[in-house]
A and B are shown apart, each in its own frame.
Chain A
Amino acid sequence: MGNFGQLMDGFAIALTTHHVMIMVLGVLLGLVVGVLPGLGAPNGVSLLLPLTFTMDPISAIILLTSMYWGALFGGSTTSILFNIPGEPSSVATTFDGHPMAKQGEAVRALTLAFTSAGIGALVGVLVITLLSSWVANFALRFGSPEYFAVYFMAFASFIGMAGGSPFKTLVSIMLGFAVATVGMDTISGEGRLTFGLRELSNGISFLVVVIGLFGIGELLLTIDEGYKFEGVKAKLKLSTIFRTVAEMPRYWVTIVRSALIGCWMGITPGGPTAASFMSYALGRRFSRRGKYFGKGEPEGIVAPETADHSAGSCALLPMLALGVPGSATAAVMMGGLMIWGLNPGPMLFSTRPDFVWGLIASMYMGNLIAVVLVLATVPLFAFILRAPFTVVGPLIAIICVIGAYTVANHMFDIWLALAFGIVGYAFKKLDYPLAPFVLAVVLGDKAEDAFRQSMLSSGGSLSVFFETPLVATMMAIGILLLLLPFISRFAGAVLGKGNAAEAGDGRHA
């Protein structure tokens, strides 16, 4: 039980007054970010990151992760009360959460969501506690070919698992890599892809990219989709809260299933959004009351919320242990770690155990604080959301613009962020996935270094990626994932021919 002792040391670090205050502040900021549409978790963390450069890394990461928990919880509040998902990952919560709230059971819906979210997050953190040092020990044996294979697997799984067009995912990933290569080359020192622009010689910060893609892009999307609050009034009654919490054990099958889905999707870079949708879909298929889903069914709230939060926490496991983030927000945090001079990955566990275990301990605390705070602030946020978007929108726009400026005190970054905003708007509307874009920007340099170092050691032969059984297996899994869309389409074409013909006839008739 070496982990347990280290976790206790971590609690000793996380439970200081200073750090608990930081958690409360982070969760509150996160709630604001999560509640306001157009201001999501990845973007919120990016905006806050430049302000933490002067803090010590442990306080900084606790602030950022607490904000992350707050944002995850806040997103569910608006989903249920206003039918507006504050976060992409809480879209699935609107399906049953809002109908239940409309039936006058808003408090029950909120409590269901927050309790299952808390349980999901707890399961995720438990998985991190149990597995992280094991994964890190395993990863200590990795050389550069293995690392490249891990990155390859991560990106291949985006292409293979993506619901939409695999080519759009490919374009999105590669554009991210292209952005990452801009600026000075780490090995040769040459400037790359700067096209003679002096402003580009320092490279493009992933923070500017995230603020553009997720911040400004999402603002434009919100404006475009029209923004109307049809709020449901929520009066908090303690008795309702307790009764709902007592109701939770009834849904244990759904909770276990959703938590497993969430953990899996969080560790493999599927992310919370995919996890919540998948969990909702599976919940509808397997639940005995599946046909009531969409009409305010409790399990329809429990399923996506549990998965969303267990995926959200598990996304931090590969970031810490392997240096491969499992979600866009985790990617931003990993970029932060690198700025603070910490190198995410297995070595972090031996060089900075105080940091790693302090962070993990803070996750338990942060989630508990978030559950309490989110319930306490429901009336406040319901009030804030009465403000029309013509007022809230410009305020968010200013935060984004200043946020882009504070990354490096360059006006040029604001222009870049605006440009990425248009890209983000168009991409999102055309179903290009944005999370892999951000992941590629953050991981670009590392992936390229791993590739070039492998090539150096092998003298330029690609066979280095198939030399040992470990790396060969990972590469094979990656290639299989890449081919998955084609395999499934082929299988679908063979099996589905009869159905398609029938459907075609039906349309003519």
Chain B
Amino acid sequence: MNISRNAMEVATALVTALAGAAVCYGAMENGIGWTESGPKPGYFPFAIGCLILIGSTATLGQVAWKSLAAGPAGESGHADSFINGPGLRTLAAFFLPIVAMTAISAWLGLYIGMALYIFYAMYFAAGFRLYSSLLTTVIVVAANFIVFEKLFMVPLLKGPILEYFGIY
């Protein structure tokens, strides 16, 4: 799978345009007009939403203009690539575990999420041996526990398991 830069430019511009439209829509719920005491709460956001729409449309136009202008030359040479298949897989292999860690943390608490993630990253992704991976995990979790709970007194989410063991 190969995503060209042009496709990504178009997709991004469409997403920002969508965001602009959403902002406009949200602003309308607050009222975008004027009252005697000045602009209504939605006035400023509505203008922002419109500017996002204008900017996104212009970007789309620029991309279209450029690819049209480069059309004949583009046939012979390859179009710029945004990301290719292996690149996308590497990226997903890095990003998805972080997403999984967040999901697990929301359920079982940050320390357990963190421990599972570090173990996964060391054992499966970095190819550490089992004991090294376990040791790294323990060190990282312990270091975080000391820094946040003890030094800076910022409690992190514990989750049901740690609370069961009486760690708050």
Chain A contacts to B: CB under 8 angstroms: 50-51, 54, 165, 167-168, 170-171, 174-175, 177-178, 181, 185, 187-188, 190, 192-195, 216, 219-220, 223-224, 388, 390-391, 393-395, 397-398, 401-402, 405-406, 409, 411, 414-415, 418, 421-422, 426-427, 429-430, 432, 448, 451-452, 455-456, 460, 507
Q: Is the CB of A452 within 8 A of B38?
A: yes
Q: Is the CB of B94 within 8 A of A195?
A: no
Q: How far is the CB of B106 from chain A (nearest CB, A)?
A: 5
If A223-B90, A418-B98 touch, whether A402 touches B156 (CB-CB below 8 Å) is yes
Interface string of B73-101 (1 = CB under 8 A from A): 10000000011000100110011011101
If A220-B91, A401-B101, A402-B156 touch, whether A181 touches B118 (CB-CB below 8 Å) is no
Q: Is the CB of B44 within 8 A of A451?
A: yes
- Chain B interface bracket (under 10, 10 to 19, 20 to 34, 35 or more): 35 or more
Q: Is the CB of A188 within 8 A of B12?
A: no
Q: Is the CB of A409 within 8 A of B8?
A: no
Contacts of A168 in B (CB 8 A): 55, 59
Q: Is the CB of A223 within 8 A of B58?
A: no
Q: How far is the CB of A173 from chain B (nearest CB, A)?
A: 8
Instruction: Give Cα distance in the complex from A39 to B22, angstroms.
Output: 32
Q: Is the CB of A401 within 8 A of B45?
A: no
Q: Find A411's partner among B23, B83, B106 (CB 8 Å cutoff).
A: B106
Contacts of B94 in A (CB 8 A): 219-220, 223, 393, 397
Contacts of A451 in B (CB 8 A): 44
Instruction: Give Cα distance in the complex from A395 to B110, angstroms.
Output: 14
Q: Is the CB of B59 within 8 A of A190?
A: no
Contacts of B144 in A (CB 8 A): 398, 402
Secondary structure at chain B's binding surface: helix, strand, loop or mixed?
Answer: helix
Q: Find B140's partner among A178, A188, A195, A398 (CB 8 Å cutoff).
A: A398
Closest to B59 in A: A167
Instruction: Give Cα distance in the complex from A181 to B56, angstroms.
Output: 20
Beyond A178-B52, A224-B91, A418-B99, list 20 extra A-B contacts (CB 8 Å).
A51-B152, A170-B55, A170-B58, A171-B16, A174-B20, A174-B51, A175-B52, A178-B45, A216-B98, A224-B83, A390-B126, A391-B126, A395-B118, A397-B94, A397-B117, A401-B101, A401-B102, A405-B156, A411-B106, A432-B12
Q: Find B12's partner among A181, A402, A430, A455 (CB 8 Å cutoff).
A: A430
Q: How far is the CB of A447 from chain B (nearest CB, A)?
A: 9
Q: Is the CB of B27 within 8 A of A192?
A: yes
Q: Is the CB of A414 within 8 A of B114?
A: no
Instruction: Give Cα distance in the complex from A193 to B49, angstroms.
Output: 11
Instruction: Give Cα distance in the complex from A429 to B12, angstroms.
Output: 11
Q: Is the CB of B154 within 8 A of A171?
A: no
Q: Is the CB of B118 within 8 A of A174?
A: no
Closest to B51 in A: A174
Instruction: Give Cα distance in the complex from A168 to B55, angstroms.
Output: 7
Q: How far is the CB of A488 from chain B (nearest CB, A)?
A: 16
Q: How far is the CB of A217 from chain B (nearest CB, A)?
A: 11
Contacts of A398 in B (CB 8 A): 101, 114, 117-118, 140, 144
Q: Mind listing 25 A-B residue pairs with CB under 8 Å?
A: A165-B62, A167-B56, A167-B58, A167-B59, A170-B58, A177-B48, A181-B23, A181-B45, A188-B40, A192-B26, A192-B42, A193-B23, A195-B22, A220-B94, A223-B90, A224-B91, A390-B125, A395-B118, A398-B117, A402-B110, A402-B148, A405-B157, A409-B157, A411-B106, A414-B105
Q: Find A507's partner among B37, B73, B118 (CB 8 Å cutoff).
A: B73
Contacts of B157 in A (CB 8 A): 405, 409, 411
Q: Is the CB of A430 within 8 A of B114?
A: no
Contacts of B140 in A (CB 8 A): 395, 398
